Amino acid sequence: MHATLLQHALEYVDIPVQLAGGVAGELDGVFGNELKLTEIWVPREHLELGRKVIETVLESEAEQGSPAEGPAWACASCGEDNDSGFTICWNCQSLRK
């Protein structure tokens, strides 16, 4: 999930957004870590609405089932366990099969 998704959702309801931290809103795909990696700044007068928008987006993401959720997988090449969010092995960079 990208922070820019939240940004667009906020801008959709006319809340100006600034992203701070992270690299161009690229996130590591681990649900729950994303808001630590990228801070989303909204003007104080929009804080309450902004929070609701973010909660709504995150909830709908959760309902749809994030690709980052699911069981860990074992690498076919080296046998290492990898979190489901990874599509390549962290150890040997083999593609998930």
Type and span of the H or E element at 19 = strand 18-20
Type and span of the H or E element at 74 = strand 73-74
Of the two residues 80 and 83, which places its CB atom closer to Zn ion in the complex?
80
Closest among 61, 64, 62, 81 to 73, alpha carbons compared: 81
Q: Measured in whole angstroms, how far is the alpha carbon of residue 8 from the centre of its chain?
A: 14
* Piece in contact with Zn ion (CB under 5 A), picked from 22-30, 36-44, 54-62, 88-96: 88-96
- Is residue 87 near Zn ion by the rule CB under 5 A? no
Of the two residues 56 and 91, which places its CB atom closer to Zn ion in the complex?
91
Scanning residues 43 to 82, which ones bind Zn ion (CB under 5 A)?
Answer: 75, 77-78, 80
Of the two residues 58 and 89, which places its CB atom closer to Zn ion in the complex?
89
* Piece in contact with Zn ion (CB under 5 A), picked from 2-10, 35-43, 45-53, 83-91: 83-91
With the C-alpha atoms ordered 44, 46, 51, 57, is the resulting torsion angle positive or negative?
A: negative
Question: What does the binding site for Zn ion look like in residue numbers (CB under 5 A)?
Answer: 75, 77-78, 80, 89, 91-92, 94
